Amino acid sequence: MATFKEIRGQTIKKYTTNPADPLEGQMWYNNTTGTLKGRIVTEAWSSGSPLSTARAYTYGCGLQTAALVVAGYDGSITTDVEEYNGSGWSEQNNLGTSRYNCGVLGIQTAAFACGGRPPAPPDSGSTTVENYDGSSWTAAPSLNSARTYLAGVGTTTAGLVAMGGQPRNTASNLAEEYNGSSWSAANTNTTTRRLVGAGGVQTSAVYFGGDLYPGADRDTVIAEEYDGTNWTTVGSLNTGRNFLCGSTNAPGNTAVLAMGGGTPTSTGSTEGYDGTVWSTRPSMTTARKALAGAGIATAALASGGSIPPYSDATEEFNVSANVVTAGAWAAGGTVPYTSRQNMSFGTQTAAINCGGYVSSTLDTAASYDGTNWTASPALNVAARMGGVAGTTAAGLQFGGIQPPATYSTNVQTWNGSAWADSPLNLTTGTYGLMGCGTQTAALKVGGENPAGGNYTTGEEFDGEGWTASGALPGPSGGKYVAAGNGVQTSAIITGGSPSGTATFEYNGTSWVAGGDLGTSRPGTQAGSAGATSDSNIVIGGGPALSVTEGYDGTAWSTRPALGTGRGSTNGNGTATAGLLVSGGPPSSTTTLTEAFTGETSAANYKTITTS
């Protein structure tokens, strides 16, 4: 029998702890635990951030970290388009023509949407093709045959579409190729069907599953390969289904995933093709059909679909020596007092929550250690909807409303054990403002002006006094109950009134316009967490939103949703370790805390045994 050294070219080393970054397939002996261990490859699905708009009968293309979902049905036939950046989805410019079940091919920055079912007449397919350049859609040469329920692979200079209904209540074996300027008929498929999955490129593609319409046994296991000229029937799927999707950007047909579909009920079944046979892979968590696929066989993406009802779920499939843990919100400790319009600062594991409102403005405060909240000394002056900055050892609270209904200029400092009134008050009293930074380098901007309207102005604190800072740009008239976070030299403010989506970034001198939120948050204040202007999340908002979005310095995209939607709240921490505290819809309050942890990846260690 061959030894491990003969097979791998190395001996099994001994360690007192697991090595920091072992290679795939590496084995070692852990002296401390007395176990033989190794780093192995696994296949698994993990949850991704949801689509901005739940939908079905949609198609996708691109890679797991740069995907595109086009059109579909969300209660009506839609033109909606979204892009995925590996962390979340963001809305993009819409298709020119609303439709669903259109064939989509290409990559995120160069794609085609081909055919599909338009709103009217209801039973006809379309010849329409539109080209996406990563920003906008323009007309492209039309298909020769009108069709819907079709699939596409390849690129915008070498594309292939096949398996279309012609019109909706028939099936087709027609295929067409694109050469960079026009579509032409290709050899027909060996089987007439529709609602198929696909993967590959124009000269090496595979089409699988689908609906043998008409017929009694309509959900088929049939798969066909295309070599650029001819179609050949190859190994069958293990489970017949329709409305499934494929890992569209497969490098040829030797490695493709078939994901989801209907049997006819929705399934999460996943199968992998190696060029000869299909084999079972781990199933998706969310069973669905009429979903969009993207990626390659070792790093795929499945999004949307019908469970029913329409789904916004996104899942990532990875073949890796690492274990991927999806980002998620989890319940935190219970705050010892109910409130909304509260203020919190610090980190996910060390925070202070203070003030707020129930039936009157509160002076109550509590501290958090990452697990439990405990009552802490009260504010010297009750306040709500003010600004905060700092840490649990050195904090600052400023402005807001103080009883009975005063637009406060008051500033209070926290030293880790008690609050004290500061003589260094704000220049202007306001509430519904955004505050961030540290106790000696704080920033305040926006809020309601007691004379009417909202402030565009801001103030900076250096530990010795407040001075005017750059003004918010644009004609919006400032911001009130907006979300924001960061530091004095790199901050963000977004949402709020009067514009529920506008975002502005601060560089320590001036504010400039940033990307708009995907979900408008003009009502009660949303929470925010982040360390700089290019790494933030915005959470919830009025009246009871659960939507979370993340910002990368350019654009907002979706993140996992809160467990309990709410506004009139405040957040702290970072974009990958955030905390949302209390809050509520306009007429209620809560003691809930939720903590956000971004996606993580860790080496997959396995203990080797003889059993």
358-365 contacts, C-beta under 8 A, 24 or more apart: 358/589, 360/403, 361/401, 361/402, 361/403, 362/337, 364/337, 364/339, 365/419
3-state secondary structure of 527: strand
Check residue 6 and report its DSSP letter: H
Cα(552)–Cα(568) distance, integer angstroms: 24
Share of the chain above pLDDT 70, in %: 94
Please check whether the domain covering 329-597 is classified as CATH 2.120.10.80.
yes
What's the mean pLDDT when you consider all of the chain?
A: 92
Q: What is the 3-state secondary structure (H, E, C) of 157-188?
A: CCEEEECCECCCCCCECCEEEECCCCEEEECC
- Model confidence at 20, pLDDT cuts 50, 70, 90, reads confident
Residues 173-187 have pLDDT tens digits of 999 999 999 999 999
Task: Please give the helix or strand (H or E) that residue 538 lies within, else none.
Answer: strand 535-539
- Break the chain into its structural domains and give their ranges: 4-39, 44-320, 329-597
The answer to whether the beta carbons of residues 521 and 481 sit under 8 Å apart is no
Task: Please give the helix or strand (H or E) that residue 505 lies within, else none.
Answer: strand 503-506
Sign of the dihedral defined by the CA atoms of residues 320, 326, 327, 333, in that order: negative
Task: Please give the helix or strand (H or E) that residue 39 lies within, else none.
Answer: strand 35-39
Check residue 66 and report its DSSP letter: E
Q: 37-53 burial, b if ≥16 CB within 10 A, otherwise e? A: bbbeeeeebbbbbbbbb
The answer to whether the beta carbons of residues 306 and 288 sit under 8 Å apart is yes
pLDDT score recorded for residue 169: 74
Q: Which residue has the tokens 């388009």?
A: 81
**Terminus-to-terminus CA distance in the chain, angstroms?**
18
Intrachain domains 44-320 and 329-597 with the same fold:
yes
3-state secondary structure of 379: coil
The answer to whether the beta carbons of residues 127 and 145 sit under 8 Å apart is yes
Residues 510-552 have pLDDT tens digits of 999 999 999 999 888 999 999 999 999 999 998 899 999 999 9
Of 341 and 498, the one with more pLDDT: 341
The answer to whether the beta carbons of residues 564 and 580 sit under 8 Å apart is no
Question: Nearest Cα to 540, choosing from 561, 551, 526?
Answer: 526
- Bridge partner residues of 320 (DSSP): 42
- Fold type of domain 44-320: Neuraminidase (2.120.10)
Residues 492-512 have pLDDT tens digits of 999 999 889 999 999 999 999
Residues 247-300 have pLDDT tens digits of 987 766 679 999 999 988 999 999 999 999 999 999 999 999 999 999 999 999
The answer to whether the beta carbons of residues 174 and 187 sit under 8 Å apart is no
- Residue 14 in this model has a pLDDT that exceeds 90: no
The answer to whether the beta carbons of residues 555 and 82 sit under 8 Å apart is no
DSSP per-residue string spanning 180-219: SS-EEEEPPPSS-BBS-EEEEETTEEEEE--B-SSSSS-B
pTM summary value? 0.89
